[in-house]
Structures are given as structure tokens and as C-alpha cells.
Structure 1
Amino acid sequence: MQLYNTLSADERAQLIEQAGQKRLTLSFYAYANIQDPQKFRDDLFIEWNRLDALGRTYVAHEGINAQMSVPAENFEAFRETLEVYDFMKGIRLNVAVEQDDLSFLKLTVKVRKKIVADGLDDATFDVTNKGIHLKAQEFNELLEDPDTIVVDFRNHYESEIGRFKNAITPDVDTFRESLPIIEQQLAAHKEDKKLLMYCTGGIRCEKASAFFKHKGFKNVFQLEGGIIEYTRQVKAENLESKFIGKNFVFDHRLGERITDDIIANCHQCGKPCDTHINCANEGCHLLFIQCDECAEKMHGCCSDRCMEIIQLPVEEQKKLRQGVQKGNLIFKKGKSSALTFKKERNIFEEVKPVRVAKVTEIRKKKQTERKILVGKGQHYFTKASVAQFLIEQKQLNMGDEIIIQGPTTGEERMVLHSMKVNGKEATKAVEGDKVTFEVPFRIRLSDQLFVTEKI
């Protein structure tokens, strides 16, 4: 019985590409009283592994907090694995605004003391006495109320690339740091102001709203489902998005665009940019914002020293980082001496509209591709230099860019300009068809046939 991930990230990425499945990135959480978190964890892992679900999940006596990648065709089956538990019946699954089949490459389910590290003693206050939940339209309306103070309960690297207009954005590395800071700074407004809070998916506000009510704040409101659900409702109801920029996410994507506003800057040259990367030096892995020009110049590194290190032999790099614990240091980008461009922030000045750097063309991710497995090698006709493949799934079309890949063949690319299907000239082949076409190299029975798709 498999209870832990056994494949490397590279191996998993290859399997995903070969499967050619569309995947959905989603998140959810639920507070509950879980008597045996370890058994709960093991049961989830077994069910999710069976469905080829990947992601990062924390379970504790207090509930579950999950960010997942699930094959689209297994979405309902995945939901069923949750709804067998009474506390997750009808649970909202926050589906990501932007999709990436490689958002997660491992299935990790961990037992923790808490599903969010908030530093609070839950026994000292009523965690169920939460703030009033608001939908997108209600949230927009309350934002316009002059008696409203809106607070972002995410960390500095999240709010730097996207936030609600006029929001207070604590310059903190962790959620637990923001709670006492906000309490102290807003102590004079416990009764005369409406405290409006938000986070990525809603889980941090569930605890924060109860904490602030316990501390005497009379009018506490929270964005239901966080930024992710807000964006879904804005699109579905054709509302104005009061959130500007990008929503930071904790997976391979590191962000999903909400509006075409760029409110951040490259940490190396200062030009408008909101693309997060991790330093290419595995011994550093610092999270920071880097534009295309700096990425090319610095080879994806945060400093000259890291650029020197990545040119060393792999074994030497491993020796350099042996025994070095980075942990949360990778998130301290705004405080790293390696970065030359930083902004001083005073978040508790009188709240003013955010100054947005509008650009005519928003920098997009470099175009990547997906390899979709469609067939396998059947025969090679030596004299004619013709390869034959059996189409096992999807379809093959004239004009497709194809990849023929195998242990001996390696990876060969070509565009399909002509082919025969079951012995006749044709422009399309489907499952069960035998396809032949000329190739400038020998294929083998172990070779696989892929089509490429730009994403």
C-alpha cells in the first residue's frame, strides 16, 4: 500500500506530458474536529494517488488545507473523496484563474499541528465566532464606504504584485506576524470603522476575523473564498475587479493574472514587472521578481555570486549547499542584500489609492508547449525510409508538429506534411488507425509518437 510519493518531479512531469490530460489546479480548506489526523492523512493519500491527484496538503486536528492539481476527467471523482466526510459535504473547490498542467509534480499530504501557522492559542477565544462573509458584489460595495478599512492578510511578496485598491498591506514574511501589527495599528478604530479583510482563498481570514472579534473589533467582514472566488464571481457577474495585478499562488506558476495592471518592479533593474522566480542556484532559491532582460543577463540568478555557482560542476554545487538550511529565507526577497532595487514601505500612512504602473503590453510567460502522446512505433520500412505508428489515443492531423521519442532514437522533431492512414492518403488519423509517413531516421518499436501543443 503506497502512502508516499515515489517519483521525482522530472519523472512525474514526463508522465503528465505523455498522458496528454488536461489538469485543474484548485484549492480548498475546512475547519473541523479530526480525531485521528494520521489515519485521515493516509486515507486521503491512498484515494488521491489512485486518481493521479497531485499537490500539497496539510491536515491537523483542526481541519484540512489543500492546494491540488487534478486530472479534469477525475474532478468529480476527486470531489467524492472529500464528500464522504460530513464536514466536507458541499465544500467549495476554488479552481485557479489560470491553469498549468505542471502546477504540482508531487502528492504531499502532511500532518501538522495547525493547517495555517497563525501562532494563536485557539483555546483562548471562540474560533467559530467569525466575521461576516461577503460575496464579490457586497465586497465591492463595502470598499466604497469611507468608514471601511481594508486589510490584506497575505505576506509582503504576495501583496507586492497584486492587491485591492486602498488596502493596508503588512510588510511581513508570515501570517502570524501580521496579526499583532494590525491589532496595534488599528486599536483606535475598534468601534468606529468596518474592518474588511481578505486573503488568497479565505482560510487566513477565517481565523483572523475570529481573532479580531475576540480583541473587541465590532464590525468585522471577510471576503468569502478569497481572491480566487472573488475573481470567479467578477467574471461570472461582469463586475468591476477592484483587485489589481496578479494573485500570488504557492505552486509552480507563482502567480495568476487578474488584471493588466503591473504594480511591482523588477528587483534588479526597477522596471515594471510582476514575474516571480526562484534563484537558479539551488543553494539560494531566493524568491524575487525578475524581468526578461535581467533573467537573460543574470541567467535566472539573484546575484553575481549565485551566477558563478551555477557554472560549477553539479557535485561542487552540492558540496557548497550541504548542511545549509534556507527554510523561509527564500521568501525574504524584499530584505535580501543581493537585490539592488527595493522600495521602502510605510503601510500605515493614511490610506491612498495605489499608484499603478500601466503598460501597453503586459509581459507574458514565455510560450511553452505540451507533449501529447498519440501513438507507438509499429514498423520501419528500411528501403522507403517510412515509419509506421499505431494511433492509441487522441488524433493526428496533417500539419502537426510531432515528436518521435525513444531510448535509442532520442527526441526527433518534424512537421507532418503528408501521411497515409490505413494505406490511403489522408489528413487525419484517429484511435486505432495505422499511420505511415517518411522520416529521415530509423524508428524502433520502443518509440512513442507525440504531437505538440502550445500553452
Structure 2
Amino acid sequence: MQLYNTLSAEERAAMIDNAGKRRLTLSFYAYAQLQDPTQFRNELFLAWNALEVLGRIYVAHEGINAQLSLPADHFYAFKKTIEKYDFMKGIRLNIAVEQDDLSFLKLTIKVRDKIVADGLNDDKLDVTNIGIHLKAAAFNTLLDDPNTIVVDMRNHYESEIGHFVGAITPDVDTFRESLPIIEEQLANHKEDKNLLMYCTGGIRCEKASAFFKHKGFKNVYQLEGGIIEYTRQIKEEGLDSKFIGKNFVFDQRLGERITEDIVSNCHQCGKPCDEHTNCANDGCHLLFIQCDDCKELLENCCTYECQETTHLPLDEQVKLRQGIKNGNKIFKKGKAEALVFKKASGIKLFSSEKPQKREEIKPKLTKTYIGKAQHYYTKSSIGEFLIEDKEINIGDTLLIKGKTTGEEIFVLESMFILKKEEQVAKKGDRVSFKLPFRIRLSDVLYKLEK
């Protein structure tokens, strides 16, 4: 009986591409009293693995917290697998704002002490005594009330790229850190202010509202379904979004665009930017905000030291990172100025002074958006794109960019439209050409010019 993954992320990505099925990314949570979390975990794995569900799920005696993706045509079969449990009947499923077929590449279901690491050991805390749930319209109204204090229950690296206007955004790495800090800061307003909270999907507010009510706060409110559900409701009802920027998500996408506002800056040069990058050095993998110019200059690395490391032979890189565990620093993405973890570690931050041993600088290129990937034909190694803007010609230098694909630059030597070889592809054309690498449906096509 298989109760674990047998495929690598790369193999799974290839299977998803070959299947050609649209996938849904969604999340949900439910508090309950589970007598045997391990048995529950195993039942879910067997049912969901058969439905090609992928994701990161935590179960505990107190319930379930799930972020996952599945083929769209398996959605109703999936709902049946969860609604067989009484505590999940009629549960709200938060559908992602932006869809990406490769948002998750493994099915991981773990048994934990808690479904949210809150650091609380108070046996008297009643997790069912929660705040008042508000839908988007009511949330907006209360947000505008001068008697309201709105608090972001997420971590600093989430709120940095997007938040509600006027929100308090705690400078913390973890949810457990924020609870005592907020309690102390708002200790004088337990009765005279409205405490309004929000998070990504609602689960952290569920625990936080119970905590603050337990601590004596009288007027406690929370955003129902979190930012994900809020975004759906404002679109359906034509409401103004009080949330600005991007909503950080813990999957391959790393963020969902809610508004066009850019509220954060590149951690290296300071330009307006809200795109996260995983440092390309396998011995680091720090996740931080990096603009396209810095990404190009430092080749997806957080420092010149890491960039130099990526140019070493693979066996030397492996030796350098032996015995070093970097898991706890991945999400220390730069409180305040830039790359705080790196600063504390004594490693120089990015500066205008480039090391003498790397004098070569890539020529500056202008990047023009062209279109999006539509399909990849594995057997013939052909990628298909929809031209949404401008045009491309034989001899153009093109860039294909994606979360999994990375950045691939090549010169277009031949292309086909409706199986006919052409010299020019214009807006509205579906163009295909041979590629020496695999592309994904989330990949974007650009033209590069000096």
C-alpha cells in the first residue's frame, strides 16, 4: 500500500505537462477533534493520490490545514473524499486567484502537533470561541471606521509585498511571534477598539481571534476566508479593493497579483519590485525580493559570493555545503532594509562595488512582452505560444521565463503557424517552434533587443 511519493518534482512536472489537463489550486482548513491523525492522514493520501492531488497538508488532533492542486475534472470527486467526514461537510474551498498547473509538484501530508504552529500551551484556550467573521463588504466598512485597529496576522515577508491599507504589519518571522507582540501593543485597547484581523486563507485568524478573546479583547473580528476569499468577493460584487499589492502564497507561484500597486522594493538595488527569487546557490536558497536587472546581473543569486559559488564545479559546490542546514533561513527575506539574515551572518550585501574577479557584465537588453505558453509537445520537443502583443521574426532573440523553467534565451531560427513555416508571427497567432528544453503552461515569452 503506497503512502508516500515515488516521483521526483521534475518527473511530476513532466507528467503534468504531458497530461495537458488544467489544474486548480485551492486551500482549506477545519478544526476538529481527531482521535487518530495518522489513520486520517493515510486515508487522505490513498484517496487523493488516486485523484492526482498534489500539495502540502498538515493534520493534527485539532484538525486539518491544506494547500493543494488537482486536475479540474477531478474537483467533484475530490469534494466527495472530504465530505465523507462530518467536520468537513460544506467546507469552504478557497480557489486561488491565479492558477498555475505547477503550483505543487508533490503530495505531502504530515502529522503535526498542531495544524498551525502557534506556540500556545494554554489548556484553557477555547479554540471554538472565535471572533465575528466578516465578508468583504462588511470588512471594508469596518476598516474605514476610525475606531478600528486592523492587524495583519501574517509574517513580515508576506505583508511586505501586499497588505490592507492602514494595517499594522508585525515585523515577525513566524505566526507564534506575533501573538504576544500584538497583545502587548494593544493592551490598552481591549474594550474601546475594534480588533480587525486578516490572513491568507483565514486559519491563522481563527486561532488568533480565540487567543485575543481569551485575553480579554471584547470586539474581535476576522476576515472570512482571508485575502483569497476577499479577492473573489470584491471581483464578483464590484467592490473597491482595500488590499493593495500581491498576496504571498506558499507554493511555486510565491504570490498572487491582487492590484497593480507595487508596495515593496528590490532587496538589492531598492527599485520598486515585488517578485521573489530563490537564491540559485543550492547551499543558500534564500528567498528574497529581486528585480529583473539584479536578477540578470547576479544570475538569480542574493550576493556575489553566492554567484561565484554557482560557477564552481558541482563537486566543489557539494563539498562547500556539506553539513550546513539552511532550512531555517529560507524565509528570512529581509526585514526593513535588505537581507537581514545575510547581514547578521557577516556576508556582504549587494553593493555597487563588484568584485574584481568578475569584471564581465552582460550587455543591457530591453525585454518586450510577447505572449504565453499554450502547449509543449514532448515527443517532438516543440513549444506552442499565443502571441498576445507585438510580433516576432526569424532571427529575433527570445526569452522564455517561468517559475520552474527559469530563464532560457535563444535565437529563433524557424517557426510554424498552423503547421506552415512562416517568417513573421503577429498578435493573435499561435506559433510553434522547436526548443532544446521543456516549457510549462505558466511560461511567458519575451523578445530581447539591445
TM range (shorter): 0.7 to 0.9
> Does the 8 A contact of 1:19 with 1:373 survive in 2?
no
Q: Deviations over 1:19-69 (max 9, x none)?
A: 111011110000001111111111101111101110000000000001001
> What amino acid is aligned across from residue 322 of structure 1 in structure 2?
Q
> Does the 8 A contact of 1:23 with 1:100 survive in 2?
yes
Q: For structure 2, which runs of at least 5 residues remain unmatched after alignment?
A: 335-339, 352-366, 381-412, 421-432, 445-450
Does residue 1:415 correspond to 2:439, yes or no?
no
> What amino acid is aligned across from residue 282 of structure 1 in structure 2?
D
Q: Structure 1 314/369 Cα, relative in aligned 2: closer, same or farther at 3 Å? A: farther
Distance in 2 between the 1:302 and 1:230 partners? 34
> Does the 8 A contact of 2:373 with 2:440 survive in 1?
no
Q: Structure 1 305/168 Cα, relative in aligned 2: closer, same or farther at 3 Å? A: same
> Does the 8 A contact of 2:372 with 2:441 survive in 1?
no
Secondary structure class of the residue paired with 1:133? strand
Q: Where do residues 152-167 of structure 1 align in structure 2 (5 Å cutoff)?
A: 152-167=152-167
Distance in 2 between the 1:68 and 1:119 partners? 25
2:375 corresponds to: 371
> What amino acid is aligned across from residue 416 of structure 2 in structure 1?
V
Moved more, 34-43 or 322-331: 322-331
Distance in 2 between the 1:453 and 1:249 partners? 16
Q: Which runs of 4+ in 1 moved over 3 A?
A: 338-341, 363-368, 370-374, 416-419, 449-455
1:180 corresponds to: 180
Q: Structure 1 71/109 Cα, relative in aligned 2: closer, same or farther at 3 Å? A: same
**What is the CA RMSD across the aligned residues, in angstroms?**
2.5
Distance in 1 between the 2:240 and 2:133 partners? 19
1:429 corresponds to: none
Distance in 1 between the 2:43 and 2:139 partners? 38
> Does the 8 A contact of 2:17 with 2:440 survive in 1?
no
2:136 corresponds to: 136
> What amino acid is aligned across from residue 284 of structure 2 in structure 1?
C
Does residue 1:7 correspond to 2:17, yes or no?
no
> Does the 8 A contact of 1:281 with 1:309 survive in 2?
yes
1:386 corresponds to: none
1:35 corresponds to: 35
Distance in 2 between the 1:133 and 1:364 partners? 44
> Does the 8 A contact of 1:24 with 1:72 survive in 2?
yes
1:236 corresponds to: 236
Secondary structure class of the residue paired with 1:332? coil
Secondary structure class of the residue paired with 1:320? helix
- Larger Cα Rg: Structure 1 or Structure 2? 1
Offset at 1:184?
0.3
TM-score normalized with structure 2 length: 0.78
Secondary structure class of the residue paired with 2:76? helix
1:347 corresponds to: none
Q: Structure 1 128/371 Cα, relative in aligned 2: closer, same or farther at 3 Å? A: same
Offset at 1:124?
2.3
> Does the 8 A contact of 1:17 with 1:370 survive in 2?
no
> Does the 8 A contact of 2:302 with 2:350 survive in 1?
no
Distance in 2 between the 1:186 and 1:365 partners? 47
2:48 corresponds to: 48
> What amino acid is aligned across from residue 178 of structure 2 in structure 1?
S
1:324 corresponds to: 324
Q: For structure 1, which runs of at least 5 residues remain unmatched after alignment?
A: 342-362, 378-411, 420-438, 441-448
Q: Where do residues 308-347 of structure 1 align in structure 2 (5 Å cutoff)?
A: 308-334=308-334, 335-336=340-341, 337=343, 338-340=348-350
Secondary structure class of the residue paired with 1:55? strand
2:116 corresponds to: 116
Distance in 2 between the 1:185 and 1:270 partners? 30
Distance in 2 between the 1:108 and 1:288 partners? 25
2:269 corresponds to: 269
> What amino acid is aligned across from residue 415 of structure 1 in structure 2?
F
> Does the 8 A contact of 2:279 with 2:287 survive in 1?
yes
Q: Deviations over 1:111-150 (max 9, x none)?
A: 0001110001251211110000000000000001000000
Length, aligned pairs only: 372
1:206 corresponds to: 206
Distance in 2 between the 1:113 and 1:189 partners? 32
Distance in 2 between the 1:72 and 1:147 partners? 43
Offset at 1:452?
7.9
Q: Structure 1 182/14 Cα, relative in aligned 2: closer, same or farther at 3 Å? A: same
Q: Structure 1 418/139 Cα, relative in aligned 2: closer, same or farther at 3 Å? A: closer
Q: Where do residues 65-84 of structure 1 align in structure 2 (5 Å cutoff)?
A: 65-84=65-84
Q: Structure 1 302/181 Cα, relative in aligned 2: closer, same or farther at 3 Å? A: same
Distance in 1 between the 2:2 and 2:414 partners? 37
Distance in 1 between the 2:132 and 2:45 partners? 34
Q: Structure 1 163/89 Cα, relative in aligned 2: closer, same or farther at 3 Å? A: same
Distance in 2 between the 1:18 and 1:223 partners? 39
Distance in 2 between the 1:8 and 1:418 partners? 34
> Does the 8 A contact of 1:246 with 1:256 survive in 2?
yes
Offset at 1:328?
2.3
Q: Provide the identity percentage.
A: 69
1:217 corresponds to: 217
